[in-house]
Chain A
Amino acid sequence: MGNPIERPSLLSRGTQVVTPHVARIGHGIVLGIVASFIWSLGSVACSEVNDPLTADDLRDSSSLVAPTRFGFGTAATHAQIKNWDIDIMADGTGLPLGEGTAATGGIVFARFCAACHGTDGEGGSGGPLVVDEAAIAPPFGPRYEEWRQGREDVPFVIGNYWPYATTLFDYIRRAMPSPAPGSLNADEVYGLVAWLLAQNAIIPQDFVMNSETLSQIRMPARDLFVPDTRRGGPEVR
């Protein structure tokens, strides 16, 4: 994921909390773009590229001129980078070959996941993954209070809180199932992602999940997230 890319144009941010979205595959909509607020966090990054060696610790050794490079460490090989660089970015960069559907994923889920997350993903010793009416069940905020009408609290799950579907692939592949993380192959992970998104009513049951289709799914919770505006000072936020 190391290639510099152009920054995407700023996205307008609606205030609507949750809108049911079925994947808009093939509409050419640019998806997986990081929301604009992210850049506000990152924009200060290079404005002060301090030399960390001018910290107090090094003042005593003022007779030394810290070199640009010390020459410690060894060049990383392409093979090592490839072996360790397993992350999937929000635009799908890093997704491997392979595919799966809710049907294939359901078999994997029953075998490796249901013991902790429940037969239908309703939760157990592991957290819930699915909520009824996921796409219309805001987990919090004013619309939640209005919607709730005496129901129990809706859990924060994939269908109503996860902003990126690509995160599912990344997380399941690196960390699940918890007794044997890293043991699922790409087809199995694609199948699980399909099953979980179908259970949450984000995609239809017959949706074929692969690197191309997964990277174009827009999650209902995508626009929930905003930057941290806390900056100290007297206001409680």
Chain B
Amino acid sequence: MTRALSRRALLTGAAGTATAAALGTTRGLTAQGPDTTTSPGPPSSELGQRSPHVQLTRGRTPRGTSSRTPLQDLHGTLTPADLHFERHHAGIPDVDPNSYQLLIHGMVEHPIVFTLDDLKRFPAVSRVFFLECSGNFMGRNAGPETTPQDICGMTSQSEWTGVALGTLLREAGSNQTATWLLAEGQDAAVMTRSIPIHKAWDDAMVAYAQNGEPLRPAQGYPVRLFLPGWEGNANVKWLRRIEVADRPFMTREETSKYTDPLPNGTARQFSFEFDARSIITTPAYPNLIQPGWVEIRGIAWSGRGKISRVDISTDGGKTWEPSRLQEPVLSKAHIRFRHLWKWDGSETTIMSRAADETGYIQPSRQALLEARGRRAKSYHLNPITGWVIRSNGQVFYREEPRW
């Protein structure tokens, strides 16, 4: 991630060091690189930037319908907002916050329109949750030169702030017999999904802030639906309408898409929750490691609650050891796991296996394939990921048979 230093910077630094040494001053003691101690740097600024030495980018699909968080480059559990993954169905609309309105109608006593200011007047909630695309699995036929970002970079984590959806439904006087609601966005696809209303009374939010700042446009500015632990597509961005009803609406995105064909000839519908998953983010491709102590690090998450454990195998799955989980272990959130390992320099495969508080254990690819079948779409796939460490220290994605 280190940008090559410019020739000019190198020359300046070398000259500074030489001069300092000649004059016997206290400066010029920097071992390498330009001497930063001999002149003041730039002052504070209105808007911060990353170090020019740090290059963090989202991978992007050729057609621009999605981009991926560089999981292998991040630490801890929070995703910088400009690195949050994207998945758009008709681009990113430029919504004017001053004319923004959210309509709630249908089976309600009081159909209401809220402005952005109205929404911010309600009691607010802030929670840290992951958000993941339903189709966050690109390991289907991946080759060895595949990064964590490639495999599952369509999961990101933020602190989301907004108003509880239940608060708004109560304000509108939601009918007690209502069972579903329709969430509709104001992008050019006018994206719609049906949501069981129990999620609204549980932990759904109408979010207007992410990591302390207003939502980024790519994340739904000014307002999005947020459904903790549920597939990204249902977390409708640029939310403009909620219709309360007593049945699902059978939109395109919950029938022909985002459903799961099964080997018995049926297809699973409304499969909202993510099962537990983990991935080692380092060492991973394209890392090069040295024999000796290596801290294996990664993230784990479950849409059903808290991660209970993450086990690590350093022998290709023959034996497993529990990793250390960074506190606090939050529900429906990425958690960071770490495992100290002394690599002896021989070729092996490392992998992580998450379990959650329901007793679910992240499956092998083979177990998942047997459950879902060869014709499974790439939705809701969460297999164990392996990384092969060659004897020269190079790390590669462990290839698996074609799905």
Q: Chain A: residues with CB nearer than 8 A to chain B?
A: 1-5, 7, 15, 17, 34, 38-39, 41-53, 55, 57-58, 66, 68-70, 72-76, 80-81, 84-87, 89-90, 138-144, 153, 156, 158, 161-164, 166-167, 170-171, 174-175, 178, 181-182, 224-234, 236-237
Contact = CB atoms under 8 A, between A and B. Distances in A.
A113 B155 CA distance: 33
B288 to A, nearest CB: 35
Contacts of A156: 256, 261, 377
Contacts of B256: 156, 158, 161-162, 167
Given A72-B171, A175-B188, A227 B371 contact: no
Interface stretch (B25-33, B146-154, B238-246): B238-246
Contacts of B171: 69-70, 72-73
A17 B375 CA distance: 15
A52 B163 CA distance: 10
A84 B112 CA distance: 13
B268 A227 contact: yes
B375 A84 contact: no
A39 B196 CA distance: 10
Interface string B171-212: 101011111101010001110100011100110000000000
A181 B189 CA distance: 7
Contact of B371 (A42, A55, A226, A237): A237
Contacts of B368: 236
A202 B234 CA distance: 30
A2 B359 contact: no
B190 A181 contact: yes
A55 B176 contact: no
Given A4-B107, A230-B271, A89 B247 contact: yes
A170 B124 contact: no
Contact of B176 (A46, A50, A166, A225): A46
A234 B110 contact: no
Interface residues of B, number: 91
B118 interface: yes
Nearest to A35: B269
18 contacts: A4-B175, A38-B247, A38-B248, A42-B248, A45-B201, A46-B177, A48-B198, A50-B201, A68-B170, A69-B110, A69-B171, A140-B261, A163-B250, A164-B250, A167-B250, A178-B188, A227-B270, A234-B360
Given A4-B246, A228-B269, 11 more contacts: A4-B177, A47-B198, A50-B166, A69-B170, A75-B110, A75-B113, A156-B256, A164-B250, A182-B190, A227-B270, A228-B273
B90 A178 contact: yes
B164 A1 contact: no
**Residue among B164, B182, B304 facing the most chain A CB atoms (10 A cut-off):** B164
B243 A225 contact: no
Contacts of B271: 228, 230
A130 to B, nearest CB: 13
Nearest to B106: A2
Given A75-B112, A76-B103, A140 B201 contact: no
Interface in B212-267: 240-241, 243-252, 255-256, 259-267
Nearest to B241: A84
Contacts of A41: 179, 196, 270
